[in-house]
Structure 1
Amino acid sequence: MKESIFATLKNLNFTEYEAKAYLSLLEESPLTGYAVAKNSGVPRSKIYEVLDSLTMRGDILVSPGNTPQYTPVPAKELIKNRRKQAEENFELAEKSLAEFEQSANDRENIWNITGSGAILDKVKESILSAKKRILLEVWKEEFEELEPELRAAAEKGINVTIIAYGEISSDFANVYLHYMGQDITEEYGGRWLVISADDSEVVAGIVSLGKDSRAAWTRHVGLVMPITEFVIHDLYLMEIMKEHREILEGSFGENLVNLRRKFSIHPDFKKHYVK
């Protein structure tokens, strides 16, 4: 009989010695530690370690005094407590695994967002979730919509760096005015927006087409890395143009127009992503 009960208690995370001590106290209590060791067969050298473990877990109770005495939590209460703990663990596991699964899916998926309002809402979420750094390429129109969230991020100590197309001024962000913002607006026929938050998620897309605007949001490293580095390389170019503009324009034309023409596939040298 006892052997089957030992096996049951082991399934409830009792060690062999804990099971023996608890059953001994169910048979007779209260008992001193010495008496529990004698009745249960648990070595005296181990009994107080075992009793302390049972007490910490709430399986037995101890009365203070010069010679502490121990009594078990009734079997029904023990089972009730174990069942409650198990249910809490299952609920925690279910929630944690669902969150992990969702996070894993997010790292692999690329999500399409339609409409300028929905795109900006997703960008705001990315701003609010950032912990270290926000890199943003943006036109003035969208910056004004995002400014409150960007300011709040900066006030939390997050580095906010913006490549601005058009006149954007800010007292909380590092702003790089793109040297050819107006030309780009004309060449592309639309405005885009790119944000990288903590080098771990990006939103990128066209935002000037109203309900027909399109963007992608992802944590997929295959896109996060090159898009983030694209923004960083634009920052390199801003710094290089600031220091060496005259030399570079001497080689490649005003605002590096000859480079843009060299790598265009259209006879009018304009971009035709937006049709």
Structure 2
Amino acid sequence: MRDVVEQLQRLGMSGYEAKAYVTLVGAGQPLNGYEVAKRSGVPRSTVYETLGKLVTKGAAYELRGSDDATDYLPLPPRSLLERMRREFTDSIESLEVALPAIVAPPKAYLIHNLKDAGALLDRAEDVVAGARGDLFVSIWPQEMGLLSPLIRRAVERGVETSVMHFGTAREPVGNLYEHRFPAPGGVPEGEGAAKEDPDHRLLVVVGDRREALVGGFAGGTAWGVYTEDPAVVAMAVEYVRQDIALQIVAGRVGHEAMREIWATDPDLRRFLSERDRPAALLRAAGAPGHRPYGSPPPHGAPAPHDHT
């Protein structure tokens, strides 16, 4: 019952309204105000006002008997949910027209810091759900398990989706490319070959080449940034595109041939020797006491100038 009440509140009912409605639904027969208050926990002083609001919203009906007493019946749940769905859809469609008309162009593009895994994944879901043209994602299996339903919905609504997936994908979705070269988990050949550590993972999500989320998970902690800055968005898109291009080339040329090129070319060996750096940055970002740029300073410390 508590979960149902909370969900009804999210859809616009007050706490008392949700409790009264759930009580009426669960009764199976008309109830008067006294009975609703007794069963629901809604105070007797406000129960008739609450029931009146449900009647006004069309979520309940009044039944007047011969003795002029008033009982209440609920609108059947299926009808209520269908009505809420229509009203919600109508409001969204109206706001899609009205809100953009009043948005002022930004004077500066800010970078918003995301402080933990929950905030990071919630914002990633927002970007995926908001995509209408194209979507670029670089992701590991741990996060793919959470985001794949939304990515699949994006594909179903016609979004051109390109996914760079580290490791084997259980259920490929969209244009998905598995990161096989250099192999996640380590490249054994050559001095300085480094691990792409699944405990220190990077997540990149770009929607419509308009907004980008970049974040990382490091040893139980997480950090991230979100921005609509065109320069950052463009770099994030190219990061995913270049990684996908490398996988395509390695697949065409052959991994053995690619390993030989990487092992013998001095410039590529130099880049290979630096492959520890992303994981090191993720570890540093997750270290105790680390404060990402733009986050609040410790209590009592002077605040730096924020140029974001």
TM over 0.5: yes
C-alpha displacement of 1:131: 0.4
Corresponding pairs, count: 175
Residues 148 and 187 (structure 1), Cα distance of their counterparts in 2 relative to 1, 3 Å cut: closer
Q: Does 1:249 align with 2:259?
A: yes
| Structure 1 residue 271 displacement after superposition | 4.2
Q: Which residue of 2 aligns with 1:167?
A: 168
2:224 is matched by which residue type in structure 1? Answer: A
**1:237 aligned to 243, 246, 249, which one?**
246
Closer, same or farther: CA 96–249 of 1 in aligned 2, 3 Å = closer
Unaligned runs of 5+ in 1: 1-91
Rg (Cα) greater in structure:
1
2:269 counterpart residue number: 258
SS at match of 2:136: strand
Q: Which position in structure 2 is the counterpart of 1:183? A: 186
Find the residue that maps to 1:167 and give its secondary structure.
Answer: coil
Is the 2:200–2:279 Cα contact (8 Å) retained in structure 1?
Answer: no
| 1:249 Cα deviation from its structure 2 partner | 1.3
Structure 1 residues 222, 140: closer, same or farther in 2, change over 3 A? same
Task: Give 1:225's aligned residue.
Answer: 234
> What CA distance in whole angstroms lies between the structure 2 residues aligned with 1:263 and 1:122?
30
Q: Which amino acid aligns with 2:237?
A: T
Asked whether the equivalents of residues 128 and 153 of structure 1 are also in contact (C-alpha less than 8 Å), the reply is yes
Task: Tell whether the 8 Å contact from 1:116 to 1:214 is kept in structure 2 after alignment.
Answer: yes
CA contact (8 A) 1:252 1:259 kept: no
Q: Given the superposition, is the C-alpha separation of residues 248 and 270 from structure 1 closer, same or farther in structure 2, using an over 3 Å criterion?
A: same
- Give the deviation of 1:272 after TM superposition: 1.4
CA contact (8 A) 2:201 2:279 kept: no
Deviation of 1:246 (Å): 2.8
Cα distance 1:204–1:160, how it changes in 2: closer, same or farther (>3 A)?
Answer: same
Residues 116 and 257 of structure 1, relative CA distance in 2, 3 Å threshold? farther
Paired residue type of 1:134: L
1:171, distance to aligned residue in structure 2 (A): 4.7
Displacement of 1:260 in angstroms is 4.1
Matched, 1:153 2:136: no
Q: Which residue of 2 aligns with 1:104?
A: 106
Structure 1 residue 181, shift from structure 2 partner: 1.9
Residue of structure 1 equivalent to 2:223: 214
Distance 1:115 1:217 in 2: 13
CA distance, structure 2, for counterparts of residue 165 and residue 230 of structure 1? 14
CA distance in 1, matches of 2:130, 2:196: 33
AA aligned opposite 1:194: V
CA displacement 1:151-207 (0-9 Å, x = unmatched):
111111112221111221335322111111222894455011001111111100103
Q: Secondary structure at the match of 2:145?
A: helix
- 1:45 maps to none
| Paired AA for residue 156 in structure 1 | R
CA 1:171/1:165 → structure 2, altered by over 3 Å: closer, same or farther?
closer
Secondary structure of the 1:182 match is: coil
- Provide closer, same or farther for how the CA distance between residues 174 and 257 of structure 1 changes in structure 2, counting only shifts above 3 A: same
User: Superposition RMSD on alpha carbons, in Å?
Assistant: 3.0
Greater share of helix residues, 1 or 2?
A: 1
Q: Does 1:143 align with 2:152?
A: no
Give the share of equivalent positions with the same residue, in percent.
21
Q: Which ranges of 4 or more aligned residues in structure 1 deviate by more than 6 Å?
A: none
Matches within 5 A, 1:90-129: 99-101=102-104, 104=106, 108-129=109-130
Helix, strand or coil for the counterpart of 2:252? helix
The offset of 1:228, in angstroms, is 0.9
